[in-house]
Amino acid sequence: MSNVKELIAQDNGTLCFGDYSLGQKTKLSDYAFEGDTYKVKTFREITRLERNGSVLYESVPGSAVHNFKDSENQLSFDVESKDDIEITLGLEAEKEFKVYVDDTNIGKMKSNLGGKISFSIELNEGENVKVRVVKL
């Protein structure tokens, strides 16, 4: 896996976005994908993906995300960063989700009124993990 040099791209019906190697914040707006409009902001300190004006994904520090797929009951992606990251996802409000990292269940989480859940992942530079969030 590697950074996405175009900031956001499509690959086999999924999105790829983010470049944690950038020293300066870079953004791309009005990216059309499957009837929605996406905006990405990324650099070494943060990567943020918005869909139709709402936050869908955010990581601190920045990350590279591949195979990002959001369906009615599940969100999944592969993520890479230079260091440990905290991820915030914009999901459905006040619902329960199970979060898996590399097929290990890290627990149930309930989204807040704004639909957000947050969790941390320990990473070594260049390491990537698979994340899957399933609505219960």
Q: For residue 2, what pLDDT is reported?
A: 67
Answer yes or no: is 51 within a domain. yes
Whole-model pTM? 0.94
Q: What CATH number has the domain bearing residue 65?
A: 2.60.220
Q: For residue 6, what pLDDT is reported?
A: 79
Of the candidates 136, 23, 37, the residue with the CA atom closest to the CA atom of residue 82: 23
Query: Is 84 within 8 Å of 123 (Cβ atoms)?
Result: yes
Answer yes or no: is 3 within a domain. no
**Number of compact structural domains in the chain:** 1
For the stretch 30-48, pLDDT in tens is 999 999 999 999 999 999 9
Answer yes or no: is 36 within a domain. yes
Kindly list the averaged pLDDT for each block of 10 residues, start to end, along the chain of length 136.
78 93 95 96 97 97 96 95 96 97 96 96 88 97
Contacts of 61 (CB under 8 A, 6+ apart): 20, 44, 45, 46, 81, 82, 83, 85
Q: For residue 1, what pLDDT is reported?
A: 56
Query: Which structural domain range is residue 118 located in?
Result: 8-135
For the stretch 88-97, pLDDT in tens is 999 999 999 9
Q: For residue 125, what pLDDT is reported?
A: 77
